[in-house]
Chain A
């Protein structure tokens, strides 16, 4: 039996379609459906009501929490971009041999050999009132009183995020930087550009896809997180993820689903806007 090229390619993509359908489309569709259901304290009742959304959009807490989520995402994005870009730039343009580039790159990944949670929680004894940071600063005479805002604060949350997610910025940026043709930089130099001009007019434009991929990673990870915010703020701050996890703990699945749908849409809009700036497909 001979297959037409059309049906052949159809068969080739169908396993992937099937997997994505079962593990991606179905769960999301289920969440969307449940978000219109009703819940009592013990049971969820299939229905088609908007009360979950009404409550969500009617509560000032929702807006505050979404604002908080964006705030964390934005600050974390800026910090990881700055650090990630610098590290990638150093690796790509200042380290001459490939062997050292690989060695140093692997060095960056070492912290990722332990679990996310452990890396995060290990900050707590470090930043605490009687922690290493405070006792060191006091012994150096920099401060007299322990700094209270080091732990259980927005500072601690952002610090943990930056620590956890910077690598997601380093990897794609490093990857695109490695593909920049070195002769372009030489040409720029020959044409009289100084270091800053080369950086701004040559390297950054050519690194944009990497930056964009890193941005998508960091923004989605931070916006979907709940455990970092809970631990590092000592449960005193909330983001959307915590709102959802609280609802789940109280068995309010419909309300959790509604929040999840709104969060999903928000993240998709953010990514949609980001993709207007760079056509990743073309650049890759």
Chain B
């Protein structure tokens, strides 16, 4: 390949810029405007508003590419030259880190490091918390040095991903069509909802929801839901295959929109769901609850990591970006959509007291709660499903994970779909 890569072009350009302003003061501030950081990730946090704000506050350009999680994994693992910043989930990090395409970040350069929520550092939200199963973020959060490939179990000062956004997932229900309290994951397979249940057709997440159900039914207690043996996979999918054959499920969904439509149309009354989908159903004036369940939540978290190829001025810009990310504006932006930010206390400065009370503290809304785009999401008196941050994140039963038997699981999952 003789074509000049974009990176070489960029490096040449910055070198030129450096040369022309040599000796002048503020050389760094001049140059950083020429930097372009290429970020890619899943759609949740790849928001154009963030890129626009970066340009405004920091001066450099952030290019965003949104992909689905399979493509994100593939790209992080196979095309290290195609990105500067990877916005990935922690379980993807576990898969991708050993390829050496990412470099660890020096926590002493992260201004708000000390304020990052405990989940991402010691693994404990509060000193009494128990660490959930699956790929808990702190287990893949640190390595021994900048180019370390082995994860370490302490705060080594070298962080793999800087957490950006996370949440606790549970089942969504239509309270008006069910008409009684729902308290357990096992209700998903309750024959009462025959032909009115759904589960998501994304194997790595779907299997975890299934495990929550199986455990709740009292069928089996997994040593680690996030890392099942072949037998456990067979057993779990066996239970669900039988339910499928008995007509328990109305449909399976793969995209966010599908889950919204299934719920809003009343085709389905109970299903695995994501937080913004609940909001989308509610915004149509249809009652929908993100039901807290006794067994706890299935949680997920994402973070941004740096490409191993990043160095010099670009790396400085990346640190600048990360510090800005944790400074509160993005956190406020994301928290007003129902997600959580890694440093909640800085986000507070960018939220009204009512918003903070509703989204974080679980207090009843005083007035209309709007999302960052100005749509009214809740009116006065409403309380967030599941309550406060500590109520919700304190009840995480497992984290999204990637199993050692992942390929076997995927094959079995395909059989389940075809059954």
Contacts and interface: CB of A to CB of B under 8 A. Distances in A.
B121 interface: no
Interface string B250-281: 11111000000100011100000000000000
Contact of A61 (B73, B250, B253, B418): B418
Contacts of A129: 265-267
Interface on chain A toward B: helix, strand, loop, or mixed SS? loop
A250 interface: yes
Interface stretch (A3-11, A77-85, A182-190, A232-240): A232-240
B417 interface: yes
Contacts of B195: 148
B70 interface: yes
B74 A251 contact: yes
Interface residues of B, number: 32
A237 B265 CA distance: 21
A41 B95 contact: yes
Interface string B388-419: 00000000000000000011001100110111
B255 to A, nearest CB: 10
Interface in A193-239: 230, 233-238
Interface in A245-275: 246, 249-251
A238 B417 contact: yes
Nearest to A55: B411
Contacts, number: 73
Contacts of A61: 414-415, 418-419
A148 B96 CA distance: 44
B68 to A, nearest CB: 8
A115 interface: no
B410 A128 contact: no
A212 to B, nearest CB: 31
Nearest to A124: B261
A236 B254 contact: no
Contact of A236 (B68, B70, B99, B249): B249
Nearest to B202: A249
Nearest to A248: B70
B260 to A, nearest CB: 13
Given A152-B250, A234-B251, A234-B252, A246 B265 contact: no
A73 B99 CA distance: 44
A274 B265 CA distance: 43
B406 A152 contact: no
A65 B253 contact: no
Contacts of A238: 414, 417-418
B74 A125 contact: no
Contacts of A131: 265
B20 to A, nearest CB: 42
A152 B251 contact: yes
A235 B201 CA distance: 8
Interface string B144-185: 000000000000000000000000000000000000000000
Interface of B: 68, 70, 73-74, 77-78, 95-96, 99, 195, 198, 201, 244, 249-254, 261, 265-267, 406-407, 410-411, 414-415, 417-419
Interface of A: 41-43, 59, 61, 64-65, 68, 124-125, 128-131, 148, 151-152, 230, 233-238, 242-243, 246, 249-251
10 contacts: A42-B78, A61-B418, A65-B418, A129-B265, A131-B265, A152-B250, A235-B254, A235-B417, A236-B417, A251-B70
